[in-house]
Chains A and B, each alone.
Chain A
Amino acid sequence: MTYQIRKLPSLRGTLTGVGLALTVCAPAWAYQEAPALADMVAAGSLPPVEERLPSNPLVMDVIEQTGEYGGTLRRAILGGGDQHNMVRTIGSENLVRWDPNWTEVRPNIAESWEVSEDASAFTFKLREGTKWSDGAPFTADDIMFWYEDIFSNPTLTPNKDATFVGANGPVEITKIDDYTVKFDFGSPNGLFIQKMAYGFGYHAAAYPKHYLSQFMEKYNPDIQALIDAEPTAADATQLFNLKAGPMDTPLFWQNPDRPTLHAWHLTNAYGSTDRVVAERNPYYFKVDADGNQLPYMDRITYDQVEDVETILLKTFNGEIDYMLRHIGRPSNKAALTDNMERGQYGFFDVGDLPANIVILMLNLNNQDPVKREVVNNKDFRVGLSHAMNRQEIIDLLYFGAGSPAQTAPREGSELYKEEYAKQFTEYDVDLANEYLDKVMPEKDENGMRIGPDGEPFQLIFLVADVFGLQYPDAMELIAGYAKDVGVDIQVRATDRSRLIELHTSNQQDAYLWNCSGGQADAYTTPICYVPQISNSVSWAREWAAWGVDPSTGEEPPQEVKDIFDAYDQVTTAASPEELKARMEEVLELSMEQFFTIGLVQNDPVFGVARNNVRNVPNPLPIAGQLWFPAPYTAQLYFEGGDNLP
């Protein structure tokens, strides 16, 4: 059987029209629903489809063709900490969404939006008659409940998510009417609509008031009874966190009673059994172009496994219908290709394209004054960069799938510039020595360089084995290249939580990591271009702290302050053209500084889908906060209405 999916236009990264108000007209014909639901309607246990859908349901653009109802999408999930497996397939319904190519923001839960002249206020119009998965209406009150009782409550939200904080502080939300809300920042916030379409924008529409208010003292005077009945909670705050945990923590997926706006809702809790099951949400607010209520598939199941290799074997056996997580790695490609016929699956491309996947992050705010002086000298970083044999790393560790590059926007992104990606990437030991001699000309009897204080110079690199990116192997090669030019790099293997603990307390010399910002996410998460505080990327933590609040951290040099100022201009830009121009300024300044040393930009990875799974976005873009394919999984369907045998 041949495997064909229509190729979608490749990623282009065109910016969304900020200020664009889209309204999709409701089709005039009658709506259809899944056969199983029709039976329930006939039996009287479910209202008819017209009453379940909003008066103006979202009509999804056809990805490949109109689908068929039926079947169970089978996946596998790891026994713990793998909640993003569900987030990325059935989570992530925001007020607005990115289109399947990640080029433009489209309406989602909100049917339209308006942006004020200066891009400081955003008015969202909700769909009348939208319902939670338990049938209760979703209105502006649910958004206000989140805003007033959760977001503005310092006990439940001690720190606000950056999506909802502008230059003047946290957003102010007002209810205009039952279906209209206004988000006001008081100053321009040109990135807000984009940010609302990313992962963390979901907060505004994820808190059903009718269900969650029972876990608040304010709404439920008898809350003590609920606390007593819940053995894992001791007070009202704990109870609320337990029932209303955020989607990217396991908590969200451990409360199957919580109503959602997602296409499928859980019927059991993640972690409690060997299989997590999500059933079709009969109130889902989307239809296809023919008026068929989505989703097409009846159920999604996640078989809990403990070892990634088991997932691979299950795939060979045809027990996985659609998956890229855990298996889409170059090292698995050969084995997956060998078993294609047996497992009856094919590949699709995944545009998981970060700014760089192997980055030497030297701590520019090192607490050791000598090391700080050396690594802050750009000549040292340039020299080290020229000493790296990038192509060898790519050939040995990534099966040739990648290209030598710095930490920079990628080819295909509208921010791409060749000189950013290619500067100092040439492997040239003599050139490297030339630069390094400007910083540390003295060498000891073993040919290793002596620091400016007259002592042997040494950098301690932390490395954790994460994401299947073979960092420990890469680090050994890197330390070897550095030794060739007289730089002493000592490698310390550690686990990820220890690594995070060390760099958040600014106790590291350097570590190996990856960084987003290769595509459209360069605007919203420029963590490798501008010093910012993040729990995974740290190369100038003290400057980043100063950037947030100048009474903390450490005052950076003028060049870095200029970058902060330039990025402020980005966040307050009011038009897409201005946004792009401002971001180019940030990149120009940042690339001149050459903060981090990138080694490899990877080729697109891949996922597998069984041969009769249709409407598979190809290539599928994903990135840190772009929680794809969740907004589009509802359109996946089985040709023939069921799984292949």
Chain B
Amino acid sequence: MLGFVLRRLIYMVPTIFLVSIVTFIIIQLPPGDYLDALAAEMGEGGSDNTAIMDSLREQYGLGQPIWVQYYKWITGIVFRGDFGVSFEKNLLVNDLIWDRLGWTFGISIMTLIFIWATALPIGIYSAVKKYSVGDYVATFFGFLGLAIPNFLLALVMMYVAFKYFGQSVGGLVSPEYLDAPWTWDKYVDLFKHIWMPIVVVGTSAAAALIRIMRANLLDELYRPYVVTARAKGMTEFQLLLKYPVRVALNPFISTIGWILPTLVSGEIIVAVVMNLPTTGPMLLRALLVQDMYLAGSLILIVSILTVIGTLISDLLLALIDPRIRYQ
């Protein structure tokens, strides 16, 4: 087991290295650079800004060949933990992202809990009570959750919150708490807002898992081992949780590897619409203006998350499913 983990950790190094190169190249692929984007935005002022552009190009080292820029970036990260500078914000990437990554993780983990807490019981229920009224209701909402695009759901929920509850929308706290210290009232206000992104991001994932859980469990429920256990006189509830559910959990666990990065980067549009202080809007903005060190660092971190997530799901799978452990 230890050897397996160790081997996996070693494999991660070249993977991440390759990802970092590809990331950097992809960000550089669109024509132009940050300064072209800046020039476009400064066009509003109405003058020709070639003067300041020339000196800024020098300042940001944008005139250098791409591999020199990459070398500076990657050695900074490896040896000093320095992710470079965000051109647009003129701040170290380090100063910008950790706070946002914190919020991102917080929301992600709560969303994960929400997904599991809703998908597991509903999935089990609709498998056990197949074709009951409850199953149809759950299925109906499940399909709705799958079909509605997240950003649309976000817009609708924001509108409802605004229209009928008079709530201030956008962001995780009301404007009056924006730069206030963390008090009890601010926490209360936070929880008045934070359920919205959790529900919006969680709904479609939960809907998918309900369907998967239902299908998997249906496969297991009529297996001979279940019949055997029942024949031996186990109570129905105990039996359900101990054997078929455990086997049916497999897809839940093997998708952790994907859920982590999806929650971090996949919900960009929701985060933009709901104005969340997470990494999504920052990444989108960085890509739009070709703020390459910021975008590169965020993508690199998301890639590392995917690799770590995959490792975690492999380990959990081995733990929960004996068939995998002995392979």
Contact = CB atoms under 8 A, between A and B. Distances in A.
Contact of A274 (B43, B44, B96, B178): B178
A249 interface: yes
B77 interface: no
A518 to B, nearest CB: 13
B110 interface: no
B48 A533 contact: yes
B219 interface: no
B56 interface: yes
Interface string A488-516: 00000000111111000000000000001
A631 to B, nearest CB: 16
A498 B32 CA distance: 7
Interface string A604-625: 0000000000000000000111
Nearest to B171: A274
A156 interface: yes
A155 B59 CA distance: 12
A84 B44 contact: yes
A13 interface: no
Contacts of B30: 498
Contact of A158 (B51, B59, B179, B273): B51
Nearest to A250: B88
B170 interface: yes
Nearest to A501: B32
Which of B50, B58, B175 lies at the interface centre, i.e. has the most chain A CB atoms within 10 A of its CB?
B175
A319 B49 contact: no
Contacts of B189: none
B281 interface: yes
B44 A624 contact: yes
Interface in A246-270: 246, 248-251, 254, 269
A155 B166 CA distance: 55
A535 B49 contact: yes
A623 B82 CA distance: 42
Interface string B81-121: 01001001111100110000000000000000000000000
A594 to B, nearest CB: 24
A73 B265 CA distance: 34
Nearest to B47: A200
Contacts of B271: 306
Contacts of B59: 233, 237-238, 241-242
B46 A80 contact: no
Interface stretch (A58-66, A127-135, A307-315): A307-315
Nearest to A79: B285
Q: Is the interface of A mostly helix, strand, loop or mixed?
A: loop
Given A81-B41, A314-B170, A162 B47 contact: yes
A534 B48 contact: yes
B314 to A, nearest CB: 36
A316 B162 CA distance: 9
Contacts of B321: none
Contacts of B178: 274-275, 303
A232 interface: yes
A253 B40 CA distance: 18
Interface in A276-307: 277, 303, 305-307
A80 B48 contact: no
A274 B277 contact: yes
B39 to A, nearest CB: 6
A232 B158 contact: no
B168 A501 contact: no
B272 interface: yes
Contacts of A10: none
A207 B268 CA distance: 40
B289 interface: yes
A78 to B, nearest CB: 9
B175 A500 contact: no
Contact of A306 (B36, B89, B275): B275
Closest 3 A/B residue pairs (Cβ):
A624-B46, A159-B51, A271-B89
21 contacts: A80-B285, A87-B45, A160-B51, A162-B47, A199-B45, A200-B45, A237-B58, A241-B59, A248-B45, A249-B56, A250-B88, A272-B91, A306-B284, A309-B155, A313-B170, A319-B168, A496-B40, A497-B36, A500-B36, A535-B42, A536-B43
Interface of B: 30-32, 36-52, 54-56, 58-59, 82, 85, 88-92, 95-96, 155, 158-159, 162, 166, 168-171, 175, 178-179, 271-273, 275, 277, 281-282, 284-285, 289
Given A242-B90, A313-B169, 7 more contacts: A84-B44, A271-B88, A272-B91, A309-B273, A314-B175, A516-B46, A533-B48
